[in-house]
Amino acid sequence: MLTEAMRKVTPQLVLLDAAAQPAGCTLPLFGLDAAALSARMAQAGEPAWRGRQLTEALYRQRLADLNEFTTLPKPLRQRLIAEGWQVGRPAVAQVFQSVDGTERYLIECGDAQTVETVWMPEGDDGDSGDEGDSANEAASSLAEGDSAHRRWKATLCVSSQIGCAVNCQFCLTAKLGLQRNLSAGEIAGQVVAVLARHAVEVGRDRVNLVFMGMGEPFLNYDSFMGAVRLLVTEVGLSPRRMTVSTSGIVPGIERFAAEPPEMRPRLALSLNAPNDSVREQLMPINRKWPIEAVLEAMRAVPMRPRERITFEYVLLAGVTDQPAHAREVARLARRSGLPVKVNLIAWNPGPGIDYTMPQPEAIESFRRTLIDEGIPAYLRKPRGRDIFAACGQLKRTVEG
């Protein structure tokens, strides 16, 4: 069921050629790092530095067809193709465009399963108050750019699983259940496919990644961190511009705490409730790992200077948006002992989910209460609601 607000706009559906992911691709190169590519080249009787050329073509030039790898001699390209090697990068199969500039993609993986990725030009203010956020940066980094090239300021929301098993009651993705985990290449491939689509210049344009799409990253930990390593080492993105959100998977947080700082994204907790009893109703995972157990694990994550942990908080009318809830969240944040900021998200409606959007006055009152209690609080801009691209709305929906 579409709400009346959704009916007022007509999102545009664009069909693209999805042939960049060939059927029967048995030997995908995308997803292998420089060391693995060099080892493969050495096994094929080629000098190891050919691996560096492959890395450059895959991750910096973002080429999607082995025939375009012109730094390799043609006979070598032909031999690799004959042996069954393909680029094998996930391909953008469909694009849904919102009236607000947001784009939601169905991205096709090798087995014809699709996953969702969202591009939000100018971001959603989710990084407000973080190290190097918009408030701390020069205005010259904004999207207007210079005369030669438009400079992007955008946020890219990336999926880590197809579907999700965590079953948060307010989330449309939960309706899918868990279909399967994504590989490191499929997670990083979403990013590279979208960077290629928008001709993003890494190091010049300002693109933040949030691992907040479909799935729970810490229930697919090795692939998630494998993707982060590829994106940092081979693609050249900074982990300080990446945020991973967890529903509170304690063993995952414990592993995350041991990652080297130069490879670790920022951490967010999808909190969504002021206490265990409300959270248990909204997020059944809370019965396994209650709030205090999650906070205890988070305290072991070494923070970088000026880094904060984000509490993501979905406001549901009458359920989590009351002034008493705000005061309780503030107490919880103080009790945690963590450098915390709170990102408020007005719940986005989805078909078959029986909650109500909060009123604007309730949202502002909640935010103001947190600030008055000394807790930095920001309101995430709702993006792409008309195309089911907003938080908690990703479900491979093809209706417009």
| Interacting residues toward ligand SF4 by CB under 6 A | 164, 166-168, 171, 173-174, 214-216, 247, 270, 392
Residue with tokens 């009236």: 99
**33 vs 216 by CB, closer to ligand SF4:** 216
Q: In angstroms, give the least distance from the CB of 12 to ligand SF4.
A: 26
Between CA 314 and CA 292, with CA 362 as vertex, the angle to 5 degrees is 40
DSSP 214-229: SS-GGGSHHHHHHHHH
Sign of the dihedral defined by the CA atoms of residues 293, 299, 301, 306, in that order: positive
**Residue in 344, 388, 314 with CA at minimum distance from that of residue 103:** 388
Q: Which of 46, 108, 116, 312 is catalytic?
A: 116
- Main-chain phi, psi angles of 378, to 5 degrees: -130, 150
CB of 359 to ligand SF4, least distance (A): 23
Angle between helices 360-372 and 323-336 (to 10 degrees): 40
Q: Is 391 part of the annotated catalytic residue set?
A: yes
Shortest distance in whole angstroms from residue 263 CB to ligand SF4: 23
Q: Shortest Cβ distance from residue 260 to ligand SF4 (Å)?
A: 26
* Of residues 218 and 378, the one with the C-beta less far from ligand SF4: 218
Find all residues with CB under 8 Å of 45, minimum gap 6, and list them: none
116 is annotated as an active-site residue:
yes
CB nearer to ligand SF4: pick between 152 and 388: 388
Rank residues 38 and 270 by Cβ distance to ligand SF4 and give the closer one: 270
Rg of the chain in Å (alpha carbons): 21
Q: What are phi and psi of 285, to 5 degrees?
A: -60, -20
Count of C-beta atoms within a 10 Å radius of residue 276? 13
Q: Where are the alpha helices (DSSP H) in 166-219?
A: 184-197
Nearer to ligand SF4, 168 or 267 (CB): 168
Name the minimum Å distance from CB 211 to ligand SF4.
10
Query: Active site residue: 109, 157, 171, 391, which one?
Result: 391
**In terms of CB distance, is 157 or 195 closer to ligand SF4?**
157
The overall longest dimension of the chain from CA atoms, in Å, is 70
Phi–psi pair at 190, nearest 5 degrees:
-60, -45
Residue 371 — φ and ψ, nearest 5°? -65, -45
Shortest spacing between CB 87 and ligand SF4, in angstroms: 29
Report how far residue 126's alpha carbon sits from residue 334's, in angstroms, rounded to the nearest whole number. 21
Active site positions, annotated = 116, 391
